[in-house]
Amino acid sequence: MPRAHERTTIINTLPQLPPARLHIGGWIENSHNAEVRDPADTRNIVASAPRATRAQAIEAVQVAVRGSLEWRAVPAIQRGEVIRRASEIIAERAEQLAVAATLEMGKPIAESRGEAARAVEHARYFSTVGREAQGYTANLNEPDAQAFTLRSPIGVVSVITPWNFPIMIPNWKIAPALAHGNSVILKPAEVSPVTATLLVQCYLDAGVPASALSLLIGKSSEIGDVLLTAPEIAGVTFTGSTEVGRKISATAVGLGKRVQAEMGGKNALVIMDDANLDKALEAVMVGGFGTSGQRCTSSSRILVHEAVFEEVQRRLTEAVGQLRVGHGLTAGINAGPLASESALEDVMQGLERAVADGATVVAGGSRAEDSDLANGWFLQPTLLTGPATGAAFSEEIFGPIVSLHSIKDIDEAIRLNNEVEYGLSASIYTSNLEAANRFIFETDTGMVHVNRPTVGAEPHLPFGGSKASAIGPSELGAAHQFFTKTRSAHVRWKF
Ligand code: SIN
């Protein structure tokens, strides 16, 4: 079996990260701490993560209730100024944030820098929403009267975020939550506590009141219940797996709270016989192997027209073999480790199921165990081919595994795209207008691309999915639907 090219690229001296801390009305040093290890070399302890207790979670909710009242009283345009300052501070501290993200979850530093830059862009976008039209006017069926609609904050919001984008995703929830006048309790992934601490510091330094933004680092088993069930929590926004998102939703919606859950994906990228193959293959490499395949929008299924299948397989096998696997802080690395031992285990099990279901490994397929790489959670970037059935085709295997499936025509591409339970993102590479438009209108995903990768998120456009990929309103450009309630005002001025 061909093996993806490996190089040993572990570095000797790691930058020191500042401590991770809790923030509940002020910064707190906690005595209950857990070690965070470098996923690229687990001999390195990169941080010590506090573990919030249940009592601290309850306290954070009380603080956030005060914060909600204080912050919503600030005029929306002034709140926007604070968010704009936060975007500037994130830009100033981008390198520190990027290094922390790479050390904690492993992605190559170039990707972490890109993530920090996107966080700046997202915060900048949300800094202006207070100046947008908030609703519309309407007539009432009576003299001297008029009605209008307005948006009000929903109150205290629990923000539960994953490790794959430890800067950008917490940021794209915190920024709109605050811009719309809510208070926030952030519970980041346990894997990335320092990155979360640094991000929260940016918002506090920009002028967000201490009571309006809390940070609870800890185990879901200890503090999760409070964040979902406390009567004072108005909404829960979550990004993570479909399994966890559905549990969160069942609990929180059952208690009358709003839920926004952005969950799994099994995103197809279609390559038709008339596609620009250079561009399509570039998109597979970025969308399939970027962030070691740990993106909700990763292109994990490539549906390739039979006329170009052989060429696509040959060229991708070559490109996958040229990926440089190693420590994310080493220059030139474009394939980091999986974020944790459990992430690697899950991916290895998914790979085993895929092979048992009939997939053939054409590149990679095992742990990268040469020399120092054996001390990290590395899987060789892996290319599979096989039937359009089984785990490779339909399961979200959150790792650097891409499978190729042959298709005969656009009808089959659309049918196979829609056959899986997920519906987050999809893409088609073609120069045929009819095929492109049929793909847009007949597929069922929240985001659909033509001649573009499946990955990416624009601040002013909705980010979300259909079917098992999402619950509740979309994020980013549609964030106001979750973070505000629309009300109607009915006014008579002669009485
Ligand atoms: C994600 O896929 O998890 C975030 C969106 C992206 O940048 O691809």
Count of all residues that appear for the chain in the document: 495
Tokens of 470: 């999402």
Residues 255-268: what's their mean pLDDT?
A: 98
Alpha-carbon span 279 to 78, nearest angstrom: 44
For 51-263+471-488, give the CATH class: alpha beta
Alpha-carbon distance of 475 to 459, in angstroms, equals: 9
What whole-number percentage of the chain has pLDDT above 70? 97
Residue 260: left (phi > 0), alpha (psi -120 to 50), or beta?
beta
Residue 162 pLDDT > 50 = yes
Q: Reduce the DSSP state of residue 258 to 3 states and report it.
A: strand
* DSSP structure class, residue 14: P
Query: Is a pLDDT exceeding 80 seen at residue 347?
Result: yes
Beta bridge partners of 298: none
Q: Which residues contact 467 (CB under 8 A, 6 or more apart)?
A: 421, 422, 423, 444
Residue extent(s) of CATH 3.40.309.10 domains in the chain = 267-459
Q: What is the C-alpha to C-alpha distance for residues 184 and 486, in angstroms, rounded to an integer?
A: 20
Say yes or no to pLDDT of 32 above 90: no
List the single range of 6-10, 161-165, 196-200, 439-443 with lowest mean pLDDT.
6-10
pLDDT tens-digit map of 231-249: 999 999 999 999 999 999 9
Residue 46, SS3 per DSSP: strand
Q: Which of 6, 104, 296, 395 is catalytic?
A: 296
Ligand 1 pocket test: which of 297, 398, 458, 474 has the largest number of ligand atoms within 8 Å of its C-beta? 297
Tokens linked to 177 = 């939550």
For the chain, the average pLDDT equals 96
Give residue 324's pLDDT band: very low, low, confident or very high (50, 70, 90). Answer: very high
**Which of 163, 295, 425 for a ligand 1 pocket mutation test, highest count of atoms within 8 Å of Cβ?**
295
Active site residue 88: no
- Alpha helix positions (H), 221-290: 225-229, 242-254, 277-284
DSSP 139: E
Q: Which residues contact 201 (CB under 8 A, 6 or more apart)?
A: none
Q: How far apart are CA 470 and CA 464, in angstroms?
A: 6
Q: 3-class SS at 379?
A: strand
pLDDT at 4 over 90: no
Respond yes or no: is residue 132 known to be catalytic. no
Q: What is the average per-residue pLDDT within 205-212?
A: 98
Phi/psi of residue 327, nearest 5 degrees: -70, 130
Predicted pLDDT at 368: 87
| Each residue's pLDDT tens digit, 49-65 | 999 999 999 999 999 99
Which residue owns the Cα nearest ligand 1 atom 5? 456
Q: Which residues pair with 406 in a beta bridge?
A: 304
d(C-alpha 119, C-alpha 125), whole Å: 10
pLDDT number for residue 292: 98
Residue 243's φ and ψ, nearest 5 degrees, are -60, -50
Angstrom distance (rounded) from CA 397 to CA 391: 8
Overall pTM > 0.75: yes
Q: Which atom of ligand 1 is nearest to the CA of 239?
A: 3
Fold designation for 267-459 = Aldehyde Dehydrogenase; Chain A, domain 2 (3.40.309)
Q: Which of 262, 395, 396, 475 is catalytic?
A: 262
pLDDT recorded at residue 11 = 58
Asked whether 84 and 125 are in contact (CB, 8 A), the reply is: no
The CATH 3.40.605.10 portion of the chain extends over 51-263+471-488
What's the rounded Cα separation, in Å, for the pair 79 and 56?
Answer: 27
Residue of 11 and 151 predicted with greater confidence: 151
Is residue 95 pLDDT above 50, yes or no?
Answer: yes
Percentage helix, strand, coil for the chain under 3-state DSSP, each rounded to 5:
40, 25, 35
Q: What is the pLDDT of residue 7?
A: 40
pLDDT band at residue 268 under the 50/70/90 scheme: very high
Ligand 1 pocket residue status of 164, Cβ below 6 Å: yes
For 180-190, how does the pLDDT look when each residue is reduced to its tens digit (9 = 90+)? 999 999 999 99
